[in-house]
Chain A
């Protein structure tokens, strides 16, 4: 069955760039009508949608992060990636990748999440 797995550094220094990759296995990232998303959750807090991408490269970002976020897709490796620049301690969170389904645009499949800590 389709699975998502986040990977990347667990520790990033302030002012540097956070980079994560989500690998999709058991199916194709190029499936029509599905978008792929990044969502984050600071420790002990709620969920925040960061942005979404279609396999064609079309993207939607949360305006609150748009100036610092880039989401890209690599269909040949069945992966999509997140880059968040100029990070601060406020960006410390568990970062999830997820599939965004076209029926009611729900997040119907999630990765396990990866904790990224911003600290010097």
Chain B
């Protein structure tokens, strides 16, 4: 299985901050990397697919970059509704696997 490792596991930030979350894969994914946001008690929501393509309806303050084994999710200016848990997911090969999650909390 392809192992996905996110860092940090948790992060405290303030409204207006720029935040970067990193995801590293145990082997090259080319660009088969997706990002999700999950709020408590809710299903995950797709933010970014193919490493850098913004899903329809997702605010432009979210962006993704990277290829191969190293990827980043950036939120340019945190809004109150962005405090949530974020997951990366590789879709290069089954079994599809997720990172362990990054919990973004209000400072």
Cβ–Cβ contact B96 & A105, under 8 A: yes
**Residue in B closest to A109 when the chains form the complex, CB atoms:** B46
Cβ–Cβ contact B98 & A106, under 8 A: no
Cβ–Cβ contact A106 & B97, under 8 A: no
Question: A42 within 8 Å of B by Cβ?
Answer: no
A contact residues around B46 at 8 Å (CB) = 106-108
Q: A108: which of B55, B94, B95 is its contact (CB, 8 Å)?
A: B55
Chain A interface bracket (under 10, 10 to 19, 20 to 34, 35 or more)? 20 to 34
A contact residues around B53 at 8 Å (CB) = 103-104
Pick the most buried of A62, A104, A110: most chain B CB atoms within 10 A of its CB: A104
Task: Give the residues from 58 to 76 in chain A that come closer than 8 angstroms, CB to CB, to chain B.
Answer: 60, 62-64
Question: A26 within 8 Å of B by Cβ?
Answer: no
Cβ–Cβ contact A46 & B98, under 8 A: yes
Report how far A117 CA is from B46 CA in the complex, Å.
27
Task: Give the residues from 67 to 107 in chain B that come closer than 8 angstroms, CB to CB, to chain A.
Answer: 87, 89, 91, 94-101
Task: Give the residues from 1 to 40 in chain A that come closer than 8 angstroms, CB to CB, to chain B.
Answer: none
20 examples of A-B residue contacts, CB within 8 angstroms: A46-B99, A46-B101, A47-B98, A48-B98, A49-B94, A49-B98, A52-B94, A60-B94, A62-B95, A64-B95, A96-B43, A96-B44, A101-B49, A104-B32, A104-B33, A104-B50, A107-B46, A107-B89, A108-B46, A108-B55
* B residues whose Cβ falls under 8 Å from a Cβ of A: 1, 31-34, 36, 42-46, 49-50, 53, 55, 87, 89, 91, 94-101
